[in-house]
Amino acid sequence: MNIQTFSRILRAFADTPTDIDLSRGQLYVQIRDEMIEAELSERSGELFVTENGDRLPAGKWLVSRVARLPILAEKIANSVDVPSTFVSPAGKVLDQFERSQSIEEKPCENVVDELRSLLDQRLTGFTSATYLTSDAGEGKTTIINCMARQQAKAFKNKTTDWLLVPIPLGGKAFLHFDDVVVAALVNKYRFPFYYYEAFIELVRLGVLVPAFDGFEEMFIETASGEAVSALGTMLNALESEGSIVIAARKAYFEYQSFRTQAKLFDSIGKYEVAFSRISLDRWSRKQFLELANSWGIQDANSLYDALAQRLGADHPLLTRAVLASRLIEEAIQSESVEYLIQRLGNSPQDYFYAFVTTIVEREAKEKWTDKSGEPLKPLLSVEEHHELLSMVSAEMWNSGVESLRAEVLDVVSEMFCDRRGAVVTRQVKERLKQHALITVSQSLRGQYAFDHEDFRKFYLGESLGSALLRLGSIDVHSILKAGTLSAITVEQACLLVARKSGDIAAVLQLVQKLASNDLPLSYVRENAGAITLYLISVHTLQRVTVAKMTMVNSALASRSLQNVTFEDCYFQPTSTIGSTLQNCTFVRCEFERLEIGSEIQLATMVGCQVPNLVLLQQDRQLFNPTEIAKSLQDVGFVIREEHQQSLALTSVVSDGDDSDDVELVQRVLRVFLRSTQANEGTIKMRLGARSSDFFDDLLPQLLTHGVMEEVPYRGGGVQRRFKLCVHMESIQNALNHCANNLDKFFEEVKSV
């Protein structure tokens, strides 16, 4: 470390620049309320600090004396909660181009070990960003916490030189990243010694690796893109140094569309960032047995076989970590495994309700009892337990929080007792804080949250389902307008309506009315679309018309729809893989991106806009309207005109087809979705036999038109290195409007 870097890092810790004096080989710096005096010396180009007779390299002195990392390691080790029965899942790794130029994922048996290995490999010259992706409840948070604790203990034992710092983002949509980071350090870890600038400097040094948990949720909440822009600002602040981890609930890290990550990449600027991904696999028999054995179950194989025979080996209760853990808990405490299996098997579609009910039943019969007389009487019925917890979840949702203060929880209990006419208000208030599904919040002391976010979302679904069942327009609207509902919440709400034999047609009519009366860009239209899609795909109805709704990502994937007309609907990127569309009509609908497979669909499009079609089996993107219309017709779509005008799909005539060249350009530009700069060898490997066509004919044009530019090569050997010079949003727009004409593509890029 040189004196300039040393001085810069010290300034990040000091209150003001005037608190530092590095003149004449002496160091005087005031940090917080402490004045530090030391001597500076240099040997063989390395800076040393001598304080109280102890001489240390400047980097080590900063880490231990100024940054106090040993104290932070102690705080993380004591604050981060990891189950003693934790089982690391298997997964798949897509490494960054700097380490692996393969575009194929490789399997890994232990995700924790693989993530540690990736973060241990510190390649210089760029910031390393690793995505950790999976569906909800598959262990991302636990993996981060487990690794953070292991690293903290290793740091204390001096077997590693860096720490992983979990930064929870869920429920913090209106905070900037700097506020979130400092809040986590102070509130969660009780470590008040860093300013945000100091934290960034330690990340650049490689001694801290922040793990942002719940990024996808924060991105959804801040739909205008503030979350990705804030992440881009942070990556710029790292100036091509350090590593970060980003845990996302769904695969935000994808390559089908440049627009998907455009906001992030376009905000990075001139610095180098390389991306990799670890995706978690759902649990297999191996992980389930490992967890069961850790709980001390004598015959784990028999338990798994019995559950798999009744539920199916791919059932969420066996393959999702959070549910499998609670299932094994219940199996241990249940009067018999056979009884538990029988209860779960009664409702194959509504398994979550049956599972939660087994937990609540034990709570009602064994813990929530009136002991004033004999025999013991339950304070509340199982249905009343469900209602109380639904009210708690609804209060969290309407308040925009994931936990409640004790006094707020008491108010909810009083409201419930008043509604039910219960005379045990004091006991309900006391016992609610000790409920099996309620726990003390890990991030906000003195507050109470659900034991897992899935339970909170489940009970929000119960609350919404009850409102839909009684056709309560005001109550339904208040839930729909508050934010984007999760898939779990929507599913449970619809299952409750079916479970209570509700009027499906009346529910659809209510949801349609709410959507039609709301603004086009609203949560109401998006949530109404999710509810409507679920109901019409599960229940066979006569002709249904769905109008003026927003359909969420993958709305048409794995659906069975028949006799449905969509009018003036907006579809976010969606696939038709695994879907069956029979006698369906799309009128004046807009598709952001449509992905199709080989399944034959019996559907009609009238006046629709499909600017981007992805042929999944061929791994091709189409932007030419004529090609899009033909490909849709090939899989069974009927393309019709409206009011004597050509359909939007066929209204644009290409000025000349350079489809092969445009496709080749796309493949090259997609390289920059994994790294902001790429070597010539990486591009050659990506293109294979067609690399000579690109370098001879297309690269000169890309350089001339300013789409790409050559940058100095770093590394051994002689290669050329390139970076992207235009925004990815501009690239996506140009591809949408160029109609497979390369000259027009360049014109569109310049015009933006």
Rg (CA), the chain: 29
Residues 540, 509 contacting (CB under 8 angstroms):
no
> What is the spatial order of strands in the sheet that 404-405 belongs to?
404-405, 447-450, 438-440
Residue 514 lies in a domain: no
Q: How large is the average pLDDT for residues 594-600? A: 87
Residue 413 lies in a domain: no
Q: How large is the average pLDDT for residues 579-588? A: 92
Q: Determine the Cα–Cα distance for residues 722 and 669; give it in Å rounded to an integer.
A: 11
Cα first-last separation, the chain: 43
The closest of 166, 162, 158 to 206, measured between CA atoms, is 162
Assess whether pLDDT exceeds 50 at residue 127.
Answer: yes
Residue 478 lies in a domain: no
Q: How large is the average pLDDT for residues 309-325? A: 81
Q: How large is the average pLDDT for residues 212-221? A: 65
Rounded percentage of the chain residues whose pLDDT exceeds 70: 88
Residues 686 and 559 in one domain: no
Residues 164 and 235 in one domain: yes
Residue 559 lies in a domain: yes
Residues 40 and 115 in one domain: no
Q: Give the confidence band of 644 by pLDDT, cuts at 50, 70, 90.
A: very low
Mean pLDDT of the chain: 83
Q: Determine the Cα–Cα distance for residues 142 and 321; give it in Å rounded to an integer.
A: 10
Q: Determine the Cα–Cα distance for residues 630 and 637; give it in Å rounded to an integer.
A: 9
Residues 212 and 163 in one domain: yes
Residues 176 and 246 in one domain: yes
Residues 209 and 106 in one domain: yes
Residues 89 and 147 in one domain: yes
Total structural domains within the chain: 5
Q: Determine the Cα–Cα distance for residues 587 and 603; give it in Å rounded to an integer.
A: 11
The residue from 280, 306, 332 where one domain ends is 280
Residues 129 and 198 in one domain: yes
Averaging pLDDT over each range in 122-131, 561-570, 590-599, 705-714, which range is the top one?
561-570
Output the domain CATH number for residue 733. Answer: 1.10.10
The residue from 582, 615, 646 where one domain ends is 646
The closest of 616, 551, 605 to 581, measured between CA atoms, is 605
Domain holding 720, by residue range, is 659-751
Output the domain CATH number for residue 142. Answer: 3.40.50
The closest of 59, 49, 6, 9 to 194, measured between CA atoms, is 9
Residues 614, 594 contacting (CB under 8 angstroms):
yes
Residue 191 lies in a domain: yes
pLDDT tens sequence across 264-306: 676 676 788 888 889 888 888 998 898 888 888 878 888 888 8
Q: Determine the Cα–Cα distance for residues 656 and 38; give it in Å rounded to an integer.
A: 72
Residues 220 and 132 in one domain: yes
Assess whether pLDDT exceeds 60 at residue 648.
Answer: no
Higher pLDDT, 2 or 341: 2
Q: Give the confidence band of 261 by pLDDT, cuts at 50, 70, 90.
A: low
Q: Determine the Cα–Cα distance for residues 238 and 644; give it in Å rounded to an integer.
A: 57
Q: Give the confidence band of 340 by pLDDT, cuts at 50, 70, 90.
A: confident
Residue 502 lies in a domain: no
739: left (phi over 0), alpha (psi -120 to 50) or beta: left
Residues 195 and 248 in one domain: yes
Residues 195, 16 contacting (CB under 8 angstroms):
no
The residue from 262, 280, 298 where one domain ends is 280
pLDDT tens sequence across 372-398: 556 667 788 889 999 999 999 999 999
Assess whether pLDDT exceeds 60 at residue 253.
Answer: no
Residue 281 is classified by DSSP as P
Residues 563 and 679 in one domain: no
Residues 171 and 253 in one domain: yes
pTM, whole model, 2 decimals?
0.72
Which range is least confidently modeled, 223-227, 231-235, 265-269?
A: 223-227
* Residue 569 neighbours by CB distance under 10 Å: 24
Residue 469 lies in a domain: no
Residues 263, 215 contacting (CB under 8 angstroms):
no
Q: Which pLDDT score, from 0 to 100, does residue 725 have?
A: 87
Q: Determine the Cα–Cα distance for residues 357 and 354; give it in Å rounded to an integer.
A: 5
The closest of 565, 558, 487, 563 to 526, measured between CA atoms, is 487
Residue 382 lies in a domain: no
SS3 sequence, 557-613? CCCEEECEEEECCEECCEECCCCEEEEEEEECCEECCEEECCCCCEEEEECCECCCE
* Residue 205 neighbours by CB distance under 10 Å: 19
CA 532-538-540 angle, to 5 degrees, is 95
Which range is least confidently modeled, 59-63, 194-198, 228-232, 465-469?
A: 228-232
pLDDT tens sequence across 510-558: 999 999 998 887 899 999 999 999 999 888 788 899 999 999 888 998 8
